[in-house]
Amino acid sequence: MSTIPATLPGGTWSLGDLTVTRFGYGAMQLAGPGVMGPPADHDGALAVLREAVALGITHIDTADAYGPHITNQLIREALHPYPDALRIVTKVGAFRDEQGGWPPAREPEDLRRAVHHNLDRLGLERLDVVNLRLGDAQGPRPGPVTEAFETLVELRQQGLIRHLGVSNATAEQVAEARAIAPIVCVQNMYNLAHRQDDELIDELAEQGIAYVPFFPLGGFSPLQSSALTAVAARLDATPMSVALAWLLQRSPNILLIPGTSSVAHLRENIAGAGLSLSEEDLAELDRIGR
């Protein structure tokens, strides 16, 4: 079994007035195959969530579209009433069709309904952070965000949401949202091999806004690179550990939400993310996504 450090790797970060551990947990993969339906191992899914909190994680990422509804129901079953320090970050802006697709649902009425669904299923009176999910399953798409974002601002003013963020967004959409109201995070796809947001990450770091990479381990297709394998072998670590440690060292505003349906992997990832990468390691890893 992996040795878990007393303090989670990376320390903490502030999402507005909310403190979270930089090592968080992404709940998407707890639903069934293709993020549809219930998990094969219901009790195993509850155990992962409980272990995450027991190990000190205070940031769980979810969405009512996962399952749909399944991960929120699992989070509530495993953890409600929630520990005071736990922050649950959710997202709205897409629903699930019968084929398992993620069509956009960003009309004001869709967003209001989605916020209420998250509140009901998580058993909360106010959501800590809501990300407006933009783009589609292929990635960010240019387009206006004002009407959708203003709808979430209204819901925040009604006391249903504490802080806002955007997800799957272009840099222009991030700027458009920020011109309307403050955001505390941007959640986009980013990892060692997908470096399209390098500039945005640095800009957000200067503004004190978190960048939360989804698919930190490659998502549905695990990260594969000979350079990653070589660095991991040299450090006697797993490629997953190196990928997570690299993200934590990449910028202080990066928060990790790796997903897993396994308690052993969760422990392994926490133990591995604290790995210290040398300048030589970083230079070698840096070339992967360039």
Ligand X SMILES: NC(=O)c1ccc[n+]([C@@H]2O[C@H](COP(=O)([O-])OP(=O)(O)OC[C@H]3O[C@@H](n4cnc5c(N)ncnc54)[C@H](OP(=O)(O)O)[C@@H]3O)[C@@H](O)[C@H]2O)c1
Q: Please tell me whether residue 225 binds ligand X under the rule CB under 6 A.
A: no
Which segment (13-21, 37-45, 151-159, 261-269) binds ligand X by CB under 6 A? 261-269
25 noted as active-site residue: no
Contact yes or no for 54/60 (Cβ under 8 A)? no
Which of the residues 128 through 147 are near ligand X (CB under 6 A)? Answer: 133
Long-range Cβ pairs for the range 70-75 (8 Å, 24+): 70/30, 70/31, 70/32, 70/37, 70/38, 70/39, 71/27, 71/28, 71/30, 71/31, 72/118, 72/121, 72/122, 73/121, 74/27, 74/30, 74/39, 74/42, 74/45, 74/46, 74/49, 75/27, 75/49, 75/122
Catalytic entry in 66, 82, 190, 211: 66
Which segment (1-9, 107-115, 155-163, 211-219) binds ligand X by CB under 6 A? 211-219
Binder among 262, 282, 284, 286 for ligand X (CB under 6 A): 262
Which segment (114-122, 153-161, 228-236, 265-273) binds ligand X by CB under 6 A? 265-273
Q: Please tell me whether residue 168 binds ligand X under the rule CB under 6 A.
A: yes
Q: Please tell me whether residue 258 binds ligand X under the rule CB under 6 A.
A: yes
Residue type for 144, please? P
Q: Which residues contact 47 (CB under 8 A, 6 or more apart)?
A: 263
Closest CA to 13 of 87, 72, 80: 87
Contact yes or no for 91/167 (Cβ under 8 A)? yes
Least Å distance, CB 115 to ligand X, is 16
Binder among 51, 128, 197, 268 for ligand X (CB under 6 A): 268
Contact yes or no for 266/53 (Cβ under 8 A)? no
Question: Token pair of 4, please?
Answer: 């878990």
Annotate each residue in 181-200 with x if it binds ligand X (CB under 6 A) or - if it does not, as one string.
------x-------------
Pick 139 or 157: Cβ nearer ligand X = 139
Least Å distance, CB 70 to ligand X, is 13
Question: Token pair of 80, please?
Answer: 């409600």
Pick 77 or 280: Cβ nearer ligand X = 77
Q: Nearest to ligand X by Cβ — which residue?
A: 259
Closest CA to 35 of 113, 111, 91: 91
Q: Please tell me whether residue 259 binds ligand X under the rule CB under 6 A.
A: yes
Binder among 31, 58, 61, 64 for ligand X (CB under 6 A): 61
d(CA 256, CA 4): 16
Least Å distance, CB 59 to ligand X, is 10
Contact yes or no for 31/38 (Cβ under 8 A)? yes
CA angle 132, 136, 142 (to 5 degrees): 75
Contact yes or no for 15/87 (Cβ under 8 A)? yes
d(CA 30, CA 219): 13
Least Å distance, CB 65 to ligand X, is 9
Q: Please tell me whether residue 217 binds ligand X under the rule CB under 6 A.
A: yes
Q: Please tell me whether residue 68 binds ligand X under the rule CB under 6 A.
A: no
Binder among 91, 96, 106, 117 for ligand X (CB under 6 A): 91
> Which residues are known to be catalytic?
66
The site for ligand X (CB under 6 A) is made up of 26-29, 61, 91, 133, 167-168, 187, 214-219, 240, 257-262, 265, 268-269
